[in-house]
Structure 1
Amino acid sequence: MFNVPTISLAEARDVAEACLAKAQAEGAVIAVAVVDSAARPILLLCTDGVIPVAGEAALAKARTAVIMRRPTEALELARRDRPLGTSIFGVYEVEGGVPLFVGADTGLGGVCAGGFAIAGSPVEIPLILDAGIAAWAAALEKEGLYGTPGMDTH
């Protein structure tokens, strides 16, 4: 049987709550989704007043970040020749999703343990993502592990 590292529910909560706290501090309304190493949903939290589609968008971005092992912003930049909002095979190429890696200083050598994404308010996306990334790094440090988000996170 394979033993693949995956983000725990407690770690997912830490990441999501860090994003929500930063969003609140910035006056943003968001949905934040966290998925495991197989891109299955672990957690979805929404601030009051977020647009109804934000939860689904956050889940799609988080899944895409894990499946593609890249931040969704990198995919968005690569698809500039296609209309905004297009999707190929369920890949959602819009800024806001980040894969989370364990066991390497860069995503290239590590194992993807999951990912997270935000959607809703278009302001302060990098600041909110950074809060989630910092929570992930703190969780790994607590466990004596190391890891990073995907290359060029945003």
Structure 2
Amino acid sequence: MQTKPLLTLDDVTRIMAAARADAQANHWDVAIAVVDDGGHPLALERLDGCAPIGAYIALEKARTAALGRRESKVYEEMVNGGRTAFLSAPALTSLEGGVPIRVGGLVVGAVGVSGVKAAQDAQVASAGAASIV
């Protein structure tokens, strides 16, 4: 039988704190979501000033990164490159800002961020994901 690492509440707390710190240092009003490897929500925060839809989009970006085992940006690049069929893929958000969390080469979850420019969302998500590596 194989074993795999799992995110703990302490891990999720650290991820959220790192992502929040990056967003606040840049004065970015964003929503931050953390999910497990199956895309199930573990944490969600919408910082003051972030539009309500940001919470929904952040969660979907995180789910996409967890289930796809890659950054959500990859799907955005596919769509922008002409593979528009990905727009109809179930449980997939083709927007940059979802970053998988890897431990020992395995995806254990993902962070999704929404509220500012795509590359800025990805920066905040990456800060969160990097906090437990």
* TM-score category, normalised to shorter length: 0.7 to 0.9
1:42-96 deviation per Cα after TM superposition (whole angstroms, max 9, x unaligned): 000111111010111111010110111010011110121239xx34112011000
Q: TM-score, normalised by structure 2?
A: 0.87
Distance 1:87 1:49, change over 3 A: farther
Q: Partner of 2:39: helix, strand, or coil? A: coil
Task: Show the counterpart of 1:72.
Answer: 72
1:83-137 deviation per Cα after TM superposition (whole angstroms, max 9, x unaligned): 9xx341120110000111121xxxxxx2211111100122633432332133122
Does the Cα contact within 8 Å between 2:19 and 2:128 map onto a contact in 1?
Answer: yes
Count of residue correspondences = 130
Show the 5 A alignment for 1:88-103.
88-103=89-104
Deviation at 1:3, TM superposition (A): 4.0
Whole-angstrom CA distance in 2 between matches of 1:63 and 1:126: 14
Distance 1:91 1:31, change over 3 A: same
How large is the RMSD of aligned CA atoms in angstroms? 2.1
Task: Show the counterpart of 1:61.
Answer: 61
Aligned-residue sequence identity (percent) comes to 33
Does the Cα contact within 8 Å between 1:44 and 1:55 map onto a contact in 2?
Answer: yes
Letter in 2 for 1:128: V
Question: Which segments of 5 or more consecutive residues in structure 2 lack a partner in the other structure?
Answer: none
Question: Which segments of 5 or more consecutive residues in structure 1 lack a partner in the other structure?
Answer: 104-109, 138-154
Whole-angstrom CA distance in 2 between matches of 1:67 and 1:134: 19
Whole-angstrom CA distance in 2 between matches of 1:125 and 1:27: 12
Q: TM-score, normalised by structure 1?
A: 0.76
Distance 1:94 1:87, change over 3 A: farther
Task: Show the counterpart of 1:118.
Answer: 113
Does the Cα contact within 8 Å between 1:50 and 1:120 map onto a contact in 2?
Answer: yes
Write 1 or 2 for the structure with the bigger share of helix: 2
Task: Show the counterpart of 1:150.
Answer: none
Letter in 2 for 1:133: A
